[in-house]
Structure 1
Amino acid sequence: MKTIAIIPARGGSKRLPDKNILLFGGIPLIAHSILYAKANAVIDEVYVSTNSEPIKEIALKFGAKVIDRPENISGDLEPTVSALKHVLETIEMNVENIILLQPTNPLRPDNLLNDAFNIYQKESYNSLFTVSRNHQKFGKIKDSKFIPFNYEIGQRSQDLEPLFFENGLLYITKSKLIFENIIISEDAFPFEVNHIFAATDIDTQEDFDYAQYLYLLSDKK
């Protein structure tokens, strides 16, 4: 039974045009996720699902296998699980585990995948995803009045009840769940990652610039 990585990377991004092929640290953005996957022994094959010829060429150059994604599952509103299911339906391989790596998260702690996969296997989880703790004070504005959500006015930040957000760094799931249109199961294990890289999910130019800044500060340069 195989473990494969799938990197979904469609063309036609709107907020940051051609973001998946923009040069980031001297190589295309998507190449970081490909190289990260190929450097981890738990992964048997690396697949890129795309509807873009430029992305396809880059993926092949950096050693990934490419699955041509049909246009009917390449739209803005199409869920990621559609691309994952299409890959599984296309390849001739007995796959047990899917590792989803988003190209918009180019920076990941080196040991993240191995550490997460070890827990996933040891505890026999159906799926796992990475989360990070929030340290901000949230609220909403209603009728021109600020209403605190996760704290009381005057409460110290260090005394907040822990809240977490899905950071997008890594997802692991059983292939059987993908065929049920599920990536994160109800019993999924939230693997906590409190690292500055957890804040790098690139959708805008500002996101890209911040990620570049962190890249230059890191040992990855």
Structure 2
Amino acid sequence: MSCIAIITARGGSKRIPHKNIRPFCGKPILAYTIEAALRSGVFEEVMVSTDDEAIAEVARQYGAAVPFLRSEQTSGDFVSSSDAVAEVLHRYAEAGRRFDVVANLYPTAPFVTAERLRDAVDRLLASDAETLVPVVRFSFPPQRGFLIADGELRLAQPQYRETRSQDLEPLYHDAGQFYLARADAFARCPRFYGDHILPYELPELEVQDIDTLSDWEIAEFKYQLLHKEERP
């Protein structure tokens, strides 16, 4: 069973300049994803898909392959990660290399670990699912959320006004770390949100969106908290 890890790391971040190689707790944030994928031992190939030479240089420094740069067609602001993954798989197929499982890893996911990746791949292969998506439970039930309309606060779903929080169905959101798919399923439908998705639940402490500098600071705090026993 051959697996490929594709780390999609486009250049040109607007909100956090050089986001994918910005130092995070002492080294480029991209390095954490690369090192976790390599240590997992489940991937025949760990590669970075990028359009940026600086990112490519850091990727190679930490052990990832960068056999080619992204095309212009998959480097725009509105191109999805799935499009970049499809391009990578096509380029590898042209070179005679095909894989059974494809993983799309985020370059800004320092909480990803080798153990999580191994476990996730094992779970996908042991299931009948086509894809696997890590998720985290909402800390507050979205059913009790509000809207602001015409300057007034209104319940988004007033039918839950009197429902106790503990009686509401738990909802989850994408953890924003990685996705797995069987390669044949991805070839039929090039996306990770398919029809048969296996959930992989993560604890809230291991999840943090990093879209702003404040998010970045929170992520570093969480990372240091998780790894405090490793510090000298």
Same fold (TM over 0.5): yes
2:194 aligned to which of 185, 188, 208: 185
Post-superposition CA distance 1:161-207 (Å, at most 9, x none): 21111112221102233333222211111122224112x12121111
List structure 1 runs of 4+ shifted beyond 6 angstroms: none
Matched, 1:142 2:149: yes
Does 2:137 match 1:133?
yes
Higher strand share: 1
In the alignment, the residues of structure 2 paired with residue 151 and residue 109 of structure 1 have an alpha-carbon distance, to the nearest angstrom, of 41
CA distance in 1, matches of 2:71, 2:158: 43
* Residue in 2 that maps onto 1:205: 213
Aligned to 2:205: 196
CA distance in 1, matches of 2:76, 2:159: 39
Contact 2:36 2:113 (C-alpha < 8 Å) held by counterparts:
no
My pick for the range that moved more, 181-190 or 103-112, is 103-112
* Aligned sequence identity (%): 34
**CA deviations over 1:127-151 (Å, ceiling 9, x no partner):** 1101111131423233423114387
Residue in 2 aligned with 1:100?
Answer: 104
Whether 1:161 aligns to 2:169 is yes
Deviation per CA, 1:89-125: give whole Å up to 9, x if none: 1123121111111012221255321222111111132
Query: Counterpart of 1:45?
Result: 45
User: How far has the Cα of 1:215 moved from its partner?
Assistant: 1.5
Greater helix proportion: 2
1:84 and 2:92 aligned: no
- Number of residues of Structure 1 aligned to a counterpart in Structure 2: 220
- The residue identity in structure 1 corresponding to 2:123 is I
Distance 1:153 1:25, change over 3 A: same
Give the secondary structure class of the aligned counterpart of 1:201. coil
Secondary structure in 2 matching 1:132:
strand
Q: CA deviation at 1:21?
A: 0.8
TM-score when normalising by structure 2: 0.87
2: CA distance, partners of 1:145 / 1:71: 44
In the aligned structure 2, how far is the partner of 1:44 from the partner of 1:26? 28
Q: For structure 1, list consecutive stretches of 5 or more residues without a partner in the other structure.
A: none
Q: Are the counterparts in 2 of residues 9 and 48 from structure 1 also a CA contact under 8 Å?
A: yes
Measure the CA separation in 1 of the matches of 2:162 and 2:149.
Answer: 20
Tell me the amino acid that sits aligned with residue 85 of structure 2. L
Distance 2:158 2:131 in 1: 28
Q: Secondary structure at the match of 2:122?
A: helix
Checking the alignment, whether the CA contact within 8 Å between 2:146 and 2:153 is kept in structure 1 is no
Q: RMSD of aligned C-alpha atoms? A: 1.9
CA–CA distance in structure 1, aligned partners of residues 147 and 8 of structure 2:
34
State the SS of the aligned residue for 1:68.
coil
Q: What is the letter of the counterpart of residue 169 of structure 2?
A: E
> Does the C-alpha gap of structure 1 residues 151 and 45 become closer, same or farther in structure 2, counting only changes over 3 Å?
farther
| 1:111 counterpart SS class | helix
